[in-house]
Every structure is written in structure tokens, then in C-alpha cells.
Amino acid sequence: MGQGPRIGVTWLPAAEAAAHRCVRAVEAAGGEPVPLLVESPSWTAEIETLRGLLLTGGNAVDPRRYGEENHGLCRLVVPRRDELEQEALDYCAARGLPVLGVCRGMQFLNVALGGSMLQDLTITTVEHEAAGGVSRFHSVDVIADTTLARLVGAAGPLRVNSRHHQGLRREHLAPGMRPTAVAPDGVVEGIEAADGRFLIGIQFHPEYEGEVPEAVPIFARLVARAA
């Protein structure tokens, strides 16, 4: 701890922060994780020490942030978390600092930059939601000439884990964002800034050890860009 660049890691329960998989992934990549906790009264001061940001998975993004009412499909909404992540994202984006969003983090990144999303993937040919707390698995098509394709070694099919019931398709993308991976049912599983900034989202979870080993280098790339 204390040797690498400080990477903010957003999460909810303080009791779980130190052991969270994304915290461990940042440590393993050589960064210093800085848990940004909803319970903290001083997150603005913590944000101002960051060199990068990792938006993690978890509860639903408040639909009001993309102009919709909650139709009962967003099972847990925490507006204070959305506020924290917006502040942290604004700070990093304004300074050109790297940002990575994982699962809900990708969804929030897209919404915060002006996009929208589907509150529930009710009609789809792919099972996306975890079953009994265990990941589903499906393939995505990694798009050529993207950061994700370079990180995983090639464009084309990639087997990923899946633990979400919300998502986005191409028509939901924020201005200036482009897809980097798409599932067979059209659900976008990866996004990045088209102008080359390190604003990257992935819908899957390489922090789950052994489940998507090809994508684990994305954490090292985040830390390298923050250095």
C-alpha cells in the first residue's frame, strides 16, 4: 500500500471494502486502492487525492438520471452513491485521469456521460443475470481496433461471466462513446471513449478470479495510465 497511484474504488458497505474483489484487483495491479464509501463524510477530500477511478458493480443506477421513472425493476437505488460516483467521475474526467467501470460501473459511466439504459433485460436470448449468486457465462464479440481487443489479445469471440439484469444497447450509448464488445442478443458489454481518453466500461467481471482471465490486464492498464 502507498507505493502505486491512488485509484478510487467505489463501493457501499465499509465492512466489506477492504476485501472487495476490485480492491484486491487494483492492489495486484500495483495501485493503491482508495475505497470511496457512501458512509464517509469526507469523500470530496478523498477524491482530490486520486489518480484514477474504478466504478464497481452493485445496486441499480437511479433511472431519474436518464430521464425515466423507476418501473419497479430497479430493485435497489442509492441516490447518495450516484452522487458520489458522479463527483468522482467529474473530477477525474476534467483532469484526464483514467476511469474504468465494471458492470453497474459501466452503466453508470454511460449514464453520467449522457446515455441511457434498459431497466431490465426482459426479452433476450442470452441469460445475463446470476443464478443463485453464481455467474452466468456467454460469449461476446470483441470489436477490432479497440482498447479491449488489444488488452485481451484479439478481436472476436470472448467468453465472459455475467451477473446483471440491466444493460444497454447501441442506441443507449452516450455521445462520444463507442461499443467495444457486444453479446449475441445485442446487449453492449464494453464501451470506451471514441477520442482515446481512458473512459472504459465492461459489463463483465474480470475481478472474479479465473472467470475471465483474458481481461484481467485491464486493471494493470488502469493503474499504468494513472501513474
Known catalytic residues are 103, 205, 207
Beta carbons within 8 Å of 196's beta carbon, 6+ residues apart? none
The DSSP annotation for the chain comes to --SS-EEEEEES-HHHHTT-HHHHHHHHTT-EEEEEETT-TTHHHHHTT-SEEEE---SBPPGGGGT----S----B-HHHHHHHHHHHHHHHHTT--EEEETHHHHHHHHHTT---BS---S-SS--S-BTTB-EEEEEEEPSSSHHHHHHTSSEEEEEEE--S-B--GGGPPTTEEEEEE-TTS-EEEEEETTS-SEEEESS-TTSTTTSGGGTHHHHHHHHHH-
Taking Cα atoms as reference points, which of 165, 162, 163, 173 lies closest to residue 66? 173
